[in-house]
Amino acid sequence: MSTLLTRALEKRANIWSQMQEIQSRAETENRDALTAEERETWDRMEAELTGLSSDIERMERAARMDAVQRDQAVVTTAGGDSEGRDGDQDAAYRDAFGRFIRRGMSALSNEQRELMLANHSEIRAAATSPGSAGGYFIPTDTLNKITETMKVYGGLLSEVNVITTASGNTLNWPTNDDTANVGAILTENTQVTEQDVTLGQKDLGAYTYTSKMIRASLALLQDSAFDTEGFIARKLGERIGRAVAAHLATGTGTNQPEGLFTNATAGKTGAAGQTTSIVYDDLIDLQHSVDPAYRGTARWATSDSGLKVIRKLKDDQGRPLWEPSLQAGLPSTLLGAPVVVDNGIAAPAAGAASVGFGDLRAAYVARQVAGGQMMRLEERYADYLQVGFLGFLRFDGTPDDGAAFRVYKHPAT
């Protein structure tokens, strides 16, 4: 864990402790409300807490992405010290990939080809030339950095049940809901009644997601002073990630995956007038609309704008329902359950399902085929002295156990 993240967590914990002290003081003195000074202090600390929470979530997300990229670059070989071997493998992979980006597979040795093939699941590519299309990578007297505009996406993918298959053939599995059937007392000399088990079936296909193509000039690949391969690989992966994330939450199921929220059962519908609001009792009702069999591993799921509404809610004693995490790697909680933020989920609005609760792994299953891959189009643009790169991922997802998940739905008016 980085020093910056540790300090941010400690600072957030300290602020939260001070806010709790203000609340406890009012309860000890049997007051119905905070004083004007306490309210001003509370509001200031709450604003600071919000900013810190956003920073912490961003740093934790970056750490997870970095860990995934390093894991994907490991190739297993026999013998030697494991720590030193991993470092050698990382260096060898970077050298092999740099050669591949600049000159293609034909420039690699047999060992480098095997290394690249073993790590084919990484989505990698490069850029194009003048100006904003890539020329800014070529050094003049500029700062040795790249400014990247960010926009958060995803969240659900790390919580649902994801399986990886070697091929994209249709994947079928049986389903059964026998919860409505119960046993009975049998009187003496009475024939046992029959009650059949009803089976169903679900399936997953494999939609092909593409990052769209990027063309890179050979001059750019040779002259760039930046980690062009790492930068463009990240951009292609993020493009595919944004497309997948949107469908995981609200995909229609027609020519794309069906989202977790798309046809989910409403566990609670807000009262008239609550088109953009949520009340404390609604969340309690939503939580208890999910059977206790699932609640032990259940999570909340909402967008950042939905979380903003929820964070302002307080219980009957005036205590915030949302509790920030005070430890790295642990999510913040709402009514005792972790909160997953995914901006593919609808924001609070008339008729929208903006909050969900349930066991996400039981409720939704996603399938990807052999990880993401990259294609290098060398001959197609040879007369332009350019190379084309594109990433793709074969992926599908569908709700699985509908009883494991319920949503809060805002009224139409």
Q: Please say whether the dihedral angle defined by the alpha carbons of residues 229, 231, 233 and 235, taken in this order, is positive or negative.
A: negative
Rounded distance between C-alpha atoms, residue 25 and residue 21, angstroms: 6
Residue 251 lies in a domain: yes
pLDDT of residue 267: 96
Query: How would DSSP label each residue in 38-74?
Result: HHHHHHHHHHHHHHHHHHHHHHHHHHHHHHHHHHHT-
Residue 91 lies in a domain: no
Q: Please say whether the dihedral angle defined by the alpha carbons of residues 393, 399, 405 and 409, taken in this order, is positive or negative.
A: positive
Q: Please say whether the dihedral angle defined by the alpha carbons of residues 301, 306, 311 and 314, taken in this order, is positive or negative.
A: negative
Residue 47 lies in a domain: no
Element (H, E) at 97: helix 82-103
Tokens (6 digits) for 22: 């203000």
Residue 93 lies in a domain: no
Total domain count, the chain = 1
Residue 359 lies in a domain: yes
The residue to which tokens 């298959």 are assigned = 165
CA distances, 123 to each of 49, 181, 196, 239, 373 (Å): 36, 49, 49, 11, 5
pLDDT of residue 35: 84
Residue 54 lies in a domain: no
What is the full per-residue pLDDT of the chain (413 aa) written as tens digits?
A: 567 777 888 788 888 888 878 877 877 888 777 788 888 887 888 888 877 777 777 776 666 555 444 333 333 333 334 445 555 666 777 677 666 665 666 677 777 777 766 654 443 333 334 445 555 444 444 344 445 555 556 789 889 999 988 888 998 888 888 888 899 899 888 989 888 888 888 889 999 999 998 888 888 777 776 777 777 778 888 888 888 988 999 999 999 999 999 999 999 999 999 999 999 999 999 999 999 999 999 999 999 999 999 988 887 777 788 887 766 667 788 998 999 999 899 999 999 999 999 999 999 999 998 867 877 788 888 888 888 888 888 999 999 999 999 999 999 99
Longest alpha-carbon distance in the chain: 97
pTM above 0.85, yes or no: no
Question: CB-hemisphere CA count at 13 Å for 253?
Answer: 11
Residue 292 lies in a domain: yes
Rounded distance between C-alpha atoms, residue 178 and residue 395, angstroms: 30
Rounded distance between C-alpha atoms, residue 340 and residue 331, angstroms: 8
pLDDT of residue 139: 46
The residue to which tokens 């005036």 are assigned = 318
Q: Domain limits at 356?
A: 122-176+200-413
Segment 49-92, tens digit of pLDDT: 877 777 777 776 666 555 444 333 333 333 334 445 555 666 77
Rounded distance between C-alpha atoms, residue 304 and residue 332, angstroms: 13
Residue 69 lies in a domain: no
pLDDT of residue 338: 92
The residue to which tokens 């079936």 are assigned = 201
